[in-house]
């Protein structure tokens, strides 16, 4: 569904991503893991059109979106859930969600977005309970649900999730990741997930790519990445010198 080929991304003269090639198949959850500053968020901004690649190509659903405008990309079916949630604090939960459907409306014609709203409330009942509350007063985990729900309102084919676990307590992170899995399983969404929390991401992902200072070093099925000792050392915080490694599943 999504394919990046030889993508170079730079901030002025600072090379953030070098010659990156990756793909996300329809219905897959693909994790992009790496340390702070590896270039993960940069990659997502390139996909959603907020940043233009210096070279290389990005293809979505068979179309070249390398130089497309962000709103065209959203209309094509890509929704970006940004790092840090970025919900509109003073607005109600419901207004935040409705804003997510912005690109679906046309001047002079009303688009009925109630079905999607119902769907979001069905997925996240807690949001329905708090629908008239100011989004800024919600907990971190609930704000993440608002951010995801807002993205879903655009009726996307693919979701770009930037660090959904960031700043959340472990149990809340687990809950959010369970929701992500549900989104793929129940709604058939394709997901590209960027995360520093490599373990949580790889646990729900089908495949992953490891980004280190702008370059993809490793790629493969999630299980393989979890079993890779470099990944374990660098991203999973295991102290291998003190452990005997058991078989990591069949």
Partner 1 sequence: MYFEKDVECMERAELEDLQLERLQATLNRVARNVPLYRQRFAEQGLDPDDFRSMDDLRKLPFTTKQDIRENYPYGLFAVPLRDVVRLQSSSGTTGKPIVVGYTRNDLKRWSRLVARVLAMGGMTRDDVVQIAFHYGLFTGGFGLHYGAETLGASVIPSSGGNARKQIMIMQDYRTTALCCTPSYALHLADTMEEMGVNPNSLHLKWGLFGAEAWSEAMREEIQNRLKVTATDNYGISEVMGPGIAGECLERQGLHVNEDHFLFEIVHPETGEPVPDGEVGELVITTLTKEAFPMIRFRTGDLTRVLPDVCPCGRRFRRIARIIGRSDDMLIIRGVNVFPLQVETVLLAMEGAEPHYQIVLEREGRLDKATVFLEVSENLLFDRMRVAREALEGIKRKLASELGVAMDVVFVGRKTLERTEGKIRRVVDRRQL
219 belongs to the binding site for partner 1 (CB under 8 A): yes
Cβ at position 216, least distance to partner 1 in Å: 5
Smaller CB distance to partner 1: residue 184 or 207? 207
Contacts of residue 118, Cβ cutoff 8 Å, sequence gap at least 6: none
Considering the rule CB under 8 A, would residue 64 count as an interface residue with partner 1?
no
Q: Given phi > 0 = left and psi -120 to 50 = alpha, else beta, which region is 119?
A: alpha
- Residue 193 or residue 222: which is nearer to partner 1 going by CB? 222
Choice between 117 and 231, CB closer to partner 1: 231
Tell me if 118 contacts partner 1 by CB under 8 A: no
6 contacts partner 1 (rule: CB under 8 A): yes
Contact range with partner 1 by CB under 8 A, out of 2-10, 60-68, 129-137, 168-176: 2-10
The total number of residues shown for the chain amounts to 250
Tokens for 181, please give them: 């899995």
Query: CB 17 → partner 1: shortest distance, Å?
Result: 11
196: contact with partner 1 by CB under 8 A? no
Tell me which of 172, 218, 234, 236 binds partner 1, using CB under 8 A.
Answer: 218
Asked if 238 is part of the footprint of partner 1 (rule: CB under 8 A), the reply reads no
Written in H, E and C, the secondary structure of the chain is CEEEEEEEEEECCEEEEEEEEEEECCCCEEEEECCCCCCHHHHHHHHCCCCCCCEEEEEECCEECCCCCHHHHHHHCEEEECCCCCCCCCCEHHHHHHHCCHHHCECCECCCCHHHHHHHHHHCHHHHHCCCCEHHHCCHHHHHHHHHHHHHCCCCCEEEEECCCCCCCHHHHHHHHHHHHHHHHHHCCEEEEEECCHHHHHHHCCEEEEEECCEEEEEEEHHHHHHCHHHHHHHCCCCHHHCCCCCCCC
Among 166, 227, 234, 236, binds partner 1 (CB under 8 A): 227
Query: Considering the rule CB under 8 A, would residue 216 count as an interface residue with partner 1?
Result: yes
Residue 21 near partner 1 by CB under 8 A:
yes
Q: According to CB under 8 A, which one of 174, 215, 234, 236 is a site residue for partner 1?
A: 215
22 near partner 1, rule: CB under 8 A:
yes
If one asks whether residue 205 binds partner 1 (CB under 8 A), the answer comes out as: no
Contacting residues toward partner 1, per CB under 8 A: 3, 5-6, 18-19, 21-23, 209, 215-220, 224, 227-230, 240, 245, 247-248
């Amino acid at each position: 569904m999504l394919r990046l080929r030889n993508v170079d991304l730079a901030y002025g003269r600072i090379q953030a991503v070098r010659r990156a090639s990756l793909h996300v198949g329809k219905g897959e959850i693909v994790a992009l893991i790496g340390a702070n500053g590896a270039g993960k968020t940069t990659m997502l901004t390139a996909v959603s059109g907020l940043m233009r690649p210096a070279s290389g190509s990005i293809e979505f659903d068979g179309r070249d979106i390398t130089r497309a405008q962000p709103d065209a990309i959203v209309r094509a079916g890509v929704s970006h859930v940004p790092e840090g949630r970025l919900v509109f604090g003073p607005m109600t939960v419901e207004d935040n969600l409705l804003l997510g459907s912005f690109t679906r409306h046309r001047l002079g014609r009303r688009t009925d977005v109630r079905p999607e709203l119902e769907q979001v409330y069905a997925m996240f009942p807690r949001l329905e309970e708090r629908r008239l509350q100011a989004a800024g007063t919600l907990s971190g985990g609930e704000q993440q649900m608002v951010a995801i729900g807002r993205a879903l309102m655009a009726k996307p084919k693919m979701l770009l999730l930037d660090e959904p676990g960031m700043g959340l307590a472990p149990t809340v992170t687990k809950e959010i990741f369970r929701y992500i899995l549900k989104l793929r399983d129940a709604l058939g969404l394709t997901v590209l997930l960027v995360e520093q929390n490599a373990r949580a991401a790889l646990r729900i992902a089908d495949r992953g790519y490891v980004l280190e200072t702008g370059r993809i070093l490793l790629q493969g099925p999630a299980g393989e990445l979890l079993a890779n000792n470099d990944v374990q050392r660098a991203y999973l915080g295991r102290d291998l010198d003190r452990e005997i490694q058991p078989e990591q599943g069949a």
